[in-house]
Amino acid sequence: MIKTPTDDNIVNITGQYVDIYHKVIYPAEISVRNGRIAAITPLKSAPTRFILPGFIDAHIHIESSLLVPSEFARLAVLHGTVATVSDPHEIANVCGMEGVNYMIENGNSVNFKFYFGAPSCVPATTFETAGATIGVSEIAKLMSDKRIHYLAEMMNWPGVIYRDETITQKIEWAKKAGKPIDGHAPGLTGDRAKAYIQAGMSTDHECFTYEEAAYKIQLGMKIAIREGSAAKNFDALINLMDKYPESLMFCSDDKHPDSLLEGHINQLVARAIKLGKNVFDVLQAACINPVNHYGLEVGTLRKGDPADFIVVEDLKEFSVQSTYINGLVVSNLHDTLIPSVKTETINQFAVGPIQEASLRVNDEGKAVRVIVAEEGQLVTKQDWATLSPSGGNLISDTTQDVLKLAVVNRYKKAPPAVAFIKNFGLKRGAIASSVAHDSHNIVVVGANDRSMTEAVNAIISQKGGLSLCDGENCKILPLPVAGLMTTEDAFITAARYTELDRLAKERLGCTLASPYMTLSFMALLVIPDLKLSDKGLFDGNSFNFVPLYNDLI
C-alpha cells in the first residue's frame, strides 16, 4: 500500500530553488513536514543542484508500456515523473469495467500519482471486434467515482459533431460531474474542429502540424505535445512554446519499456531547452499546466503543497538525482525505491490456433491496396502494388517491401483479415502482437505465411504477448494481463523487449525504429488513412471499409 506520511516524515533539502510561477531561481532550503511543503527559506548560498516540481505525463496509456501500473511507476520515477494522466482505454477494450478497476487498484498499491480517466470509446468503433462495451450507464457510474478524474479521449469526432445520442450523453455526464473532456481529432480543422471543441473537448494530443495545433489553441484547446515510442510530434509542435506556453503540456501517449527505461518527460524538457526555449515556459508545460487543467492533487513546490518534487543536476540535461512523492523519496541516484508488489492477472482470450491456409489471399489478377507505414507517425498512407502469386496465393514480396499483414480475432473464432503493408522491411520471418490498438486482436506481419502462423500461435498459446519467429525458432514475451501487460519486474521486461526489438531488426531486417509499437497501431482505425481491423481494410478518412483489390483494373 502507499506509505502515508507521518509526523516523523521530515525532509530538509538545500539547493537552487526553481520558482516557475515567479520565474526566478535562488538558493533555498525546502522543508517538508508530513508530506507537504512546510517552508521555502531563502539562503545566501546552496549546492548547485536544482529543486523543481516533478514532471507530469499529460496523456498516456500505461498499458502500452507492457507493464502494470505499479511496475511502470518504478521506471517513471527514475526520470522525475511524479504523476500521469492515464487513459485505461486499452484494457477497457479487452476487459471493460473490470479492467478500469484493475488499473486503479494496482496503481494505488505504490507511492505514485496515477490519475485515471473514464474511457469514452469502448469499443473504439463498430468496425472491429472488441472484448467489452462501456456504455452510457457505465460512464455515468465512472463520472460519479472520485477515483476518475476526466472523460478520456473522445475519438469519435463524427459522433460529437453530428450529435450521436450515445456520444452526447457521455459528454453530458462529464459536464454534470464538472470533469474535463479529452479530445482526439488528428488533422481536424475548420468548422468541424470548431463544432468539436464547442461540444466540450478541451485537449488534443493528436496534432501533427504547427498550423493545426495553433488553430485549436486559438479555439480554446490545450495541446499535449506527444513524443512516444512510435508517434513523434515534438519537432513539428515545439515552436508553439514561443507563443502559447500556457496552452501546452507534454505527453508520451504510448511508450514501450525500453524507451521508458531511457527517459520520459525529462527528455522532452531537455530537448526543448537545447532548442533555446525559455526554461520557465518549458517547465510550466511539464509541471504546472496539467495540474491546473485537470485539477490534480500534485504539488508544484509552493508552501502547503504536497511534497512532489525532484532534484536535478542541471537545467540542461535534467538528469534526475532524486524524486519525492508525498514527501517520500521514491528514487535516488538512479535507483528506484518503489518495491515490486504482488498482483493478480485478468484476461480475455478465447481463440484456438490458426492454420496457415487461413492467411491465403486468392489471386484475382489485380493490383492490391497497400498500407504504407510512416516512421514516427500513427497516420498511414495508401498505395497499390502488383504481386506475383504462388499456387494462386498472393504472398509477401520482400523485393518490393510489400509484406502480408493479418489481424486475428482473439475473442471468438473467425477468419483472419488479411492485407498488405510496406515500410517494415522484413526479409524473413514474422513478428506478432496482442497489443493492437484499439481492440487488441492479434496483429502479425511477415515475410511468409508459415512464420506468420507460428508467430500468431505462439501468442495464442500464452494468451497474449509479443512474438518473433525467424523461420527456425520463435521467441515470445508473455503478457498475461489482458494480453497487454506483464506483472514481471519492469527492468527484466525492458531487457526482454529490447532483445525482441533487436532481433526484429538484426535477424529479420526490420527497418523501423520501433517495430512492435508501429505494428500495434496498424489496426487503429480512428487514425487515417488506411488500417486493418479483424473485419477488413478500413479507410479512416471516409470511415468505411474498402476492398483489397483495385476494382478499376
Instruction: Encode pLDDT of 292-312 as tens digits.
Output: 999 999 999 999 999 999 999
Residue whose C-alpha cell reads 500461435 in the numeric block = 457
* Cα distance between residue 34 and residue 433, in whole Å: 45
pLDDT score of 450 more than 60: yes
Ramachandran bin of 410, using left for φ above 0, alpha for ψ from -120 to 50, beta for the remaining angles: alpha
* Cα distance between residue 139 and residue 143, in whole Å: 6
Query: In this predicted structure, what is the pLDDT of residue 552?
Result: 58
Looking at residue 382, its amino acid is Q
How much of the chain, in percent, has pLDDT values that exceed 70? Answer: 98
What digits encode the pLDDT tens for the residues 258-268?
Answer: 999 999 999 99
Q: What is the pTM of this model?
A: 0.93
Contact 310, 320 (CB under 8 A): yes
Looking at residue 455, its amino acid is A
What digits encode the pLDDT tens for the residues 8-42?
Answer: 577 899 999 999 999 999 999 999 999 999 999 99
* Cα distance between residue 394 and residue 325, in whole Å: 56
Q: SS3 for 56?
A: strand
Which cell goes with 136?
Answer: 452510457
Which H/E stretch holds residue 71?
helix 69-76
- The mean pLDDT of the chain is 94
pLDDT score of 2 more than 60: no
What digits encode the pLDDT tens for the residues 367-412?
Answer: 999 999 988 778 899 999 999 999 999 999 999 999 999 999 999 9
Query: In this predicted structure, what is the pLDDT of residue 229?
Result: 75
* Cα distance between residue 479 and residue 435, in whole Å: 9
Give the mean model confidence (pLDDT) for residues 50-79: 97
Contact 100, 107 (CB under 8 A): no
Burial classification of residue 319, based on how many CB atoms lie within 10 Å of its CB (0-12 exposed, 13-18 middle, 19 or more buried): middle
Give the mean model confidence (pLDDT) for residues 144-164: 94
* Cα distance between residue 54 and residue 326, in whole Å: 11
What digits encode the pLDDT tens for the residues 200-252?
Answer: 999 999 998 999 999 999 999 999 999 987 778 999 999 999 999 999 999 99
Helices and strands: H and E segment counts in the chain? 16, 29
Contact 445, 424 (CB under 8 A): yes
pLDDT score of 287 more than 50: yes
* Cα distance between residue 306 and residue 290, in whole Å: 15
Query: In this predicted structure, what is the pLDDT of residue 108?
Result: 97
pLDDT score of 487 more than 60: yes
Each residue of 188-209: b (16+ CB within 10 Å) or e? beeeebebbbebbbbbbbbbbe
Query: In this predicted structure, what is the pLDDT of residue 526?
Result: 83
Give the mean model confidence (pLDDT) for residues 530-544: 92
Phi, psi angle pair for 126, to nearest 5°: -90, 5
Query: In this predicted structure, what is the pLDDT of residue 527?
Result: 84
For each of the domains in the chain, give its residue range(s) and CATH number, in order of start.
54-297 (3.20.20.140), 356-545 (no CATH)
Each residue of 228-239: b (16+ CB within 10 Å) or e? bbbbbbbebbbe
Looking at residue 63, its amino acid is E
Query: In this predicted structure, what is the pLDDT of residue 27?
Result: 98
pLDDT score of 3 more than 60: no
Confidence of residue 1 (pLDDT cuts 50, 70, 90): very low
Which residues lie closer than 8 Å to 537 by C-beta, 6 or more apart? Answer: 369, 371, 417, 419, 530, 531, 545, 546, 547, 548
Query: What strands, in cross-sheet order, belong to the sheet with 536-539?
Result: 530-533, 536-539, 544-545
Confidence of residue 324 (pLDDT cuts 50, 70, 90): very high
